[in-house]
C-alpha cells in the first residue's frame, strides 16, 4: 500500500484518497491503547452511548465521567428520565456547561419512550428524527452502539483527517461538504471495521493528534501523514475560534443556574440579584435562560427549574 501524500486531497480534489493504508495501523493502535471508558463497555448499551455523546459535546472526559455515572445510576433507561420533569435533568447536569443539552436529552428520552417503546432506535433516520439529535450524534450512536457504517465527524476526527490526508494543521471552523465526502471515502467497507475505525480515529485525535501539542512520535500513521510530509506548515486559514468564559453571559447564566439547581423551592428575584453585580447583563442572562426553557418564571418574582 502506498502512503497518502499531501497532494492526495487538495482543496479541489479530483481523485479519491485510498484510506486502506490508514485503517489497520489506526485500529491496531486503538486496540492497544484505547481508554477504558464506561460508555465503551457492552453493558452501557445504546442509551449509555447516547447519554455520553450528549455530555461529551464541548466537555472533556474527566468532567463527564462522574456526572455520567450518576446519571445512568438514576436513569438507566430513557423512560426513567422521561418520567421526571425536565428541570431534574438540568439539575443533574451540574456544571457540565451548555445545559440546553440536558433539555435536549430529556426531549430525546421522551420521544424514545413515545415512539420506540423505550428503546433507542437502531435506524439512523429514526435517530436523526429524535429532538436534539443532529448529524453527528445520530451517526455516533448508530456506529458506537450498533456497529453500523457511518462517518462520525467530531472535532478530533476532523483534525486527524485534516492533517493525515489533507495536509492542513487544522480543519475549517465549521464542518464542510468536502470533509463529509472525505469521511465517507475513508470509511472501511465492512460495518464492524467501519465502526471500529470511527472510534479509533476519534481516540487518536483525543490522545495523540491533539490540537496544540500533537505527539507525532507516538502516532501510528506519522509516516503517512500528509501534514508532516509537507513540513508541518502553520495554519494559514481563518483565525481559529477561541472559547472565553470569564465575564461572559455564559458565566452569569451558570451562576444563576447554580442557585436554582441547589434550591428545593422557587427562588426569589432578590436572591438571583446577588449572583452578579451588573444588572443589565444579569437580566439579559436570566431572560436568556427563560427563553431557552431552562428556567421557569412564576408569579411574585419567583423562578424555578422547569417542570414541563
For residue 303, the SS3 value is strand
Q: How distant is the alpha carbon of residue 128 from its chain centre? A: 15
For residue 298, the SS3 value is strand
The set of residues, in sequence order, having a beta carbon less than 8 Å from that of 223 and lying 6+ positions away, is 3
- Per the annotation, the verdict on 53 as an active-site residue is yes
Q: Are 296 and 87 a contacting pair, CB within 8 Å?
A: yes
Instruction: Return the CA Rg of the chain.
Output: 22
Give me the catalytic one of 53, 88, 179, 296: 53
For residue 129, the SS3 value is coil
* CA–CA distance, 22 with 70 (Å, rounded to integer): 37
C-alpha cell belonging to residue 293: 426553557
- CA-based torsion, 82, 130, 158, 58: positive or negative: negative
Just list the catalytic residues: 53
Amino acid at each position: 500500500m502506498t502512503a497518502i501524500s499531501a497532494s492526495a486531497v487538495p482543496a479541489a480534489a479530483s481523485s479519491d484518497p485510498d484510506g486502506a493504508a490508514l485503517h489497520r495501523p489506526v485500529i491496531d493502535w486503538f486496540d492497544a491503547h484505547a481508554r477504558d471508558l464506561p460508555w465503551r463497555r457492552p453493558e452501557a448499551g445504546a442509551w449509555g452511548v447516547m447519554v455520553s455523546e450528549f455530555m461529551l459535546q464541548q466537555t472533556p472526559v474527566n468532567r463527564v465521567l462522574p456526572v455520567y455515572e450518576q446519571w445512568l445510576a438514576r436513569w438507566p433507561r430513557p423512560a426513567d428520565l422521561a418520567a421526571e420533569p425536565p428541570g431534574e435533568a438540568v439539575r443533574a447536569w451540574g456544571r457540565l456547561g451548555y445545559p440546553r443539552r440536558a433539555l435536549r436529552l430529556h426531549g430525546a428520552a421522551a420521544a424514545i419512550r413515545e415512539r420506540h417503546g423505550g428503546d433507542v432506535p437502531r435506524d439512523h433516520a429514526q435517530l436523526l428524527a429524535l429532538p436534539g439529535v443532529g448529524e453527528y450524534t445520530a451517526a455516533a450512536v448508530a456506529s458506537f452502539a450498533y456497529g453500523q457504517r457511518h462517518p462520525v465527524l467530531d472535532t478530533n476526527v476532523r483534525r486527524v483527517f485534516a492533517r493525515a490526508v489533507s495536509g492542513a494543521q487544522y480543519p475549517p471552523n465549521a464542518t464542510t461538504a468536502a470533509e463529509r465526502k472525505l469521511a465517507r471515502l475513508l470509511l472501511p467497507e465492512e460495518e464492524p471495521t467501519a465502526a471500529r475505525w470511527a472510534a479509533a480515529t476519534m481516540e487518536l485525535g483525543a490522545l495523540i493528534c491533539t490540537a496544540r501539542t500533537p505527539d507525532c512520535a507516538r502516532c501510528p500513521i506519522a509516516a503517512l501523514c500528509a501534514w508532516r510530509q509537507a513540513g508541518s506548515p502553520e495554519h494559514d486559514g481563518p483565525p481559529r475560534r477561541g472559547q472565553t468564559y470569564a465575564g461572559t453571559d455564559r458565566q452569569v447564566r451558570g451562576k444563576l443556574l447554580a442557585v436554582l439547581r441547589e434550591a428545593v423551592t422557587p427562588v426569589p428575584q432578590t436572591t438571583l440579584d446577588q449572583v452578579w453585580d451588573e444588572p443589565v447583563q444579569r437580566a439579559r442572562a436570566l431572560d436568556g435562560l427563560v427563553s431557552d426553557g431552562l428556567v421557569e418564571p412564576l408569579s411574585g418574582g419567583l423562578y424555578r427549574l422547569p417542570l414541563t
